Amino acid sequence: MENILNSLSGRINRAVSKEESILKEAVEIRLRINSPISVKTRKKHVFLGLVINKKDIDETVANFTKNSMHAFEKEINKGYITIEGGHRVGISGECIYEKDSLKGFKNITSLNIRIAKEFPGCSNKYLKYLLSADKNIYNTIIIGPPLAGKTTFIRDITANLSDGFNAPYFEGCDITLIDERGEISAVYNGAPQMYTGKRTDILSHCRKSDGFFMSIRALAPRVIVSDELGSIKDFEIIQYALKSGIKIITTAHGANLEDLKKNLYLKSIIEKNFFERAFILHKHPLRVKEIFDFQRNRVVYDDLD
C-alpha cells in the first residue's frame, strides 16, 4: 500500500491516508475526473470527499510511470500499468489507434488501482486434493467469480507445489508459470513482486500459446500454471501439453461448472475430461466451496455455508 500512497498526487494522498481503517480492507481505489475518490473493500463501497481533477490524474500517472510513459508502452497498450508492489492500475481515457491496433491513451480520465495482496498459506487446507494417492498432481481448473481470489489462490498453490509441503508430504517440483497478464507474479522491472516458489520459472506477459510451447520444448516443467482460459487457442495448447505428459493448473471465470459450459471452448475442455479436478471458489474470498472429481464424476469436498 505504501507504494501506492507515495505515487498518488499530493491532494489524493492526503485524502486517502486519513482513511486508515478502510485502507486495511481495500481491494480497489478508483480515481475519476470530476468524481469523488472511490474505495472498494470486499464488503462495501465508500466515496471519500475529495473530487478528482485532471491535474490529480496527470500527476498520479507521471508518478506511476516514473515520468516515462514510453517505458510502460506495452502495458499501456493493453490498458494498464503494473507498479512496484505488484499493484495493477487500469486506465481509461481517449484511445489512440494505429492500423486498427490500440497504441495508447491521451487525456487519461480515470484510474482503477487494484491492490495486490499475498495470503501465504491460503491454499494449505486444500493441497491434499491436488494429489493422487501416488503423489501425481491432478490437472486442475480453479473456478471463481470476480473478487473470489482466483489469482491469490493459484499463486499460493504454485508456491506450495514449487517448494513442497508436509501434509501430505510432497517434495516439490519444477513449475513454469505463464503469467500472461502479469497478475500472478507481478513482475516489475524484471523482478517478481509476489512469491511463486523456488522451483518456478516465470514467463511474464507471455501469450499462453507461446508460453506452453516454450515451456515444453525448453524448460521441462512437471507442471504448467497459467491464468484464465477461454479461447480456442487455449483449447489447442492444453491438448498439446497433456499429450506431452505435463500437468496443468489454471483458472476460469464463473460461479460453477455450468457457468463454464456457457463458453464453447471451456465446455469442450470439460466434456473431454482434460481436467481431473475443479476447485470452485466461494463468493467469500479465498475459500473453496466445492471440489469436483471429473474421473469419478462426484464432489470430493464441499463447504456450502
For residue 254, what are the CA distances in angstroms to 169, 220, 228, 267?
Answer: 31, 31, 11, 12
Gap between the Cα atoms of 70 and 256, Å rounded: 41
119-164 confidence digits (pLDDT tens): 999 999 999 999 999 999 999 999 998 888 999 999 999 999 999 9
- Report whether pLDDT(289) > 80: yes
Q: How confident is the model at residue 1 (pLDDT cuts 50, 70, 90)?
A: confident
- Retrieve residue 228's grid coordinates: 484464465
* Strands 288-293 and 277-281, bridge-based pairing: antiparallel
Mean pLDDT of the chain, nearest integer: 91
- For residue 304, the model assigns a pLDDT of 67
Helix (H, G, I), strand (E, B) or coil at 159: helix
Global pTM value: 0.86
CATH architecture assigned to 2-114: 2-Layer Sandwich (3.30)
Domain ranges of the chain: 2-114, 124-302
CATH code for the structural domain at 124-302: 3.40.50.300
42-88 confidence digits (pLDDT tens): 888 999 989 999 999 999 999 999 988 888 888 888 889 888 888 99
187-244 confidence digits (pLDDT tens): 888 899 999 999 999 999 898 989 999 999 999 999 999 988 877 788 888 888 888 9
157 vs 103, residue with greater confidence: 157
Gap between the Cα atoms of 281 and 251, Å rounded: 11
- For residue 305, the model assigns a pLDDT of 56
- For residue 267, the model assigns a pLDDT of 87
Gap between the Cα atoms of 185 and 177, Å rounded: 8
- For residue 69, the model assigns a pLDDT of 82
Give the contacts of 122 (CB within 8 A, at least 6 positions apart).
Answer: 149, 152, 153, 156, 286
